[in-house]
Chains A and B, each alone.
Chain A
Amino acid sequence: MENNAELAKYNIYSAQTKLEEDWGLVLKTPTFLEWAYNAASKIGFNKNFVKIGVTVLEDGLVSLPFKAENIKSVTTDYNNFLSWNVLNADILNENGIPKIIDRFGIATEDLSLNPDQLKGNYVDFIFENESELMVNPELKGRKVYVLALVKMVDDDNLPLFTEKQIEAIATYCAYIYTRRNAFAGIKGLDLAFMKSEADKAIASARIPDYISDNEWDRVLDAKTSFNRKSYNKSFR
């Protein structure tokens, strides 16, 4: 997550060990993964922004070199990109656009100064699958700029979580276990108690422990329609 003050460094199997140590439950891995992904989708996966410029192929196909979870925006430059601000003339490509190597080692042409915004005109798109978009076929040969969200994963392609999220996943799995036992008629912990425990842990995992100043800056920018530096202060 951009501007996130917390480091997501635990992969999903940390929740399995947490479940074994804290709750004494030893689940089979395929079962655990199903439950854990269910919990993670409630909590929200940690995602990173990736910006990339891609040339539109035949029939308006835009092929992404990564698996996108969400698409934030798709824009195209049309003919006015040369008038935009550029950051550093030393790393410009032949079109005058700054080159940036993203985390996948792909050279992208980043047009934006604001990290989660791309300049240019918005283009209608259809999110076909996780690595393919469809845009207007008339854009064939042009470059579109895609701002996408991808899951934070480790070297084994497993999603990464913070400590609170791991705690919440383990608690949710314990709740599902109790629920399954309740349906099977096996006595166990009170289902309502476990439900409230899981809900508490999930709600807590959604709140960051610490919020960086950069993130506050972005939040306040979004919340105030005037210069917040003068908010409630007189500069006369």
Chain B
Amino acid sequence: MSYTLNQIVSIIDNNVRSGLAGSSNAVYSLDQLAAEVILYRNTVIEKIHQSPAIFNVRDFVQNFNVQLDRRYLNLNNEEIYGETSELHFIMPQPLISLKEDSILYVGPVSMDNKEWKVYFNSHQIKRHKYRMATANLPFVYVSDIVNEEGDVHCWVKNFTGTATELFVSVILSDPLKILDYDAGTEMDIIFPASNSVCETIIDNLTKKYLYYFRQLKQEQTPNDQRYK
């Protein structure tokens, strides 16, 4: 079964309200809860990424097409990259702590089993030409600077074909950013997490909220204007 973000938030909310019934009237924002669900998802991914046996990248990726344009790439003011405009696209920030594992596929829309190498480090792209087997294949440089809209700039190099758009399959840092790509509405996009991860999120966030609100629950004292 697949969950939407709203369903997960609703389940946690119901759990917490049932658990606190009769002991506290905690008030919290559902938006904040949604933000915490996304944050907790990213944390869980980072943890299970260390265990290749249970980490399946396909559970977490989101797929969309990006439009190609041209933009100057200037790395450290070096002439070799600063002179000409390069193929360029914008995409939401990937979950950068997974490094290259955060991007499952970037390449032609035809997906002919030849995904391109992805670099996050500007020094690495200068060494691409020294690769022994794949020096002539295209590659992508994903800048680590996030703009004000939460997007990152990416450049395609070594590409000799013609393309107006690329297909991208990536673990996004904020899954809702896919809404920028006409992927549906917030209500109906599937939350990109496996069932076990959804269960972990629901379980742990419920526990956290119950624990916080029970701990913070203060005794009601009458206002009798006396020192206690």
Contact residues of A with B, CB < 8 Å?
A: 13, 28-31, 33-34, 36-38, 181, 186, 188
Verify A29–B132 contact, CB threshold 8 A. Answer: no
- Report how far A181 CA is from B117 CA in the complex, Å: 20
Instruction: For the complex of A and B, list the 4 residue pairs with the smallest distance between their C-beta atoms, beginning with the closest.
Output: A37-B133, A30-B117, A33-B133, A30-B134
State A30–B114 Cα separation when bound (angstroms).
8
From known contacts A181-B52, A186-B50, A186-B52, infer whether A29 and B133 are also in contact, taking CB-CB under 8 Å: no
In angstroms, Cα B100 to Cα A31, docked, is 11
21 A–B pairs (Cβ distance < 8 Å), ordered by A: A28-B115, A28-B117, A29-B113, A29-B114, A29-B115, A30-B115, A30-B116, A30-B117, A30-B134, A30-B137, A31-B117, A33-B137, A34-B131, A34-B132, A34-B133, A34-B134, A37-B133, A38-B132, A186-B51, A186-B52, A188-B52
Of all chain B residues, which has the CB nearest A181?
Answer: B52
Q: How far is the CA of A92 from the CA of B7 in the complex (A)?
A: 83
Q: Which residues does chain B contribute within 8 Å of A33, judged by CB atoms? A: 133-134, 137
Q: Which of A28, A30, A36, A186 has the most CB of B within 10 A?
A: A30
How many chain B residues touch A (CB < 8 A): the figure is 15
A129 to chain B, nearest CB (A): 14
CB distance from B141 to the nearest CB of A (A): 14
CB pair B133–A36 under 8 Å, yes or no, is yes
Main secondary structure of the interface of B (DSSP, over half): loop
Binding site for A on B (CB under 8 A): 50-52, 100, 113-117, 131-134, 137, 139
Interface core residue of B51, B52, B114, B115 (most chain A CB under 10 Å): B52
B51: chain A residues within 8 A (beta carbon): 186
A163 to chain B, nearest CB (A): 21
In whole angstroms, what is the CA distance A216 to B150 when docked?
68
Cα separation A36 to B134 with both chains bound (whole Å): 11
A156 to nearest B CB, angstroms? 11
Instruction: Give bound CA distance, A166 to B40, whole Å.
Output: 43
The chain A residue with its CB closest to the CB of B117 is: A30
Distance (whole angstroms) from the CB of B159 to the closest CB of chain A: 14
Name the residue on A nearest B49 (C-beta): A186
Cβ distance B83 to chain A, nearest Cβ, rounded Å: 26
Q: What is the chain A residue whose CB lies nearest that of B107?
A: A29
Cα separation A181 to B49 with both chains bound (whole Å)? 12
* A184 (CB) vs chain B CBs: closest residue: B50
Q: Which residue of A lies closest to B128 (CB)?
A: A30
Residues in chain B near residue A186, CB distance under 8 A: 50-52
Q: Which residue of B lies closest to A17 (CB)?
A: B113
Q: B134 to chain A: which residues have CB within 8 Å?
A: 30, 33-34
Residues of A within 8 A of B137 (CB): 30, 33
C-alpha spacing A13/B112, complex, angstroms: 12
CB of A154, distance to nearest CB on chain B (Å): 15
- Chain A residues within 8 Å of B117, by CB: 28, 30-31
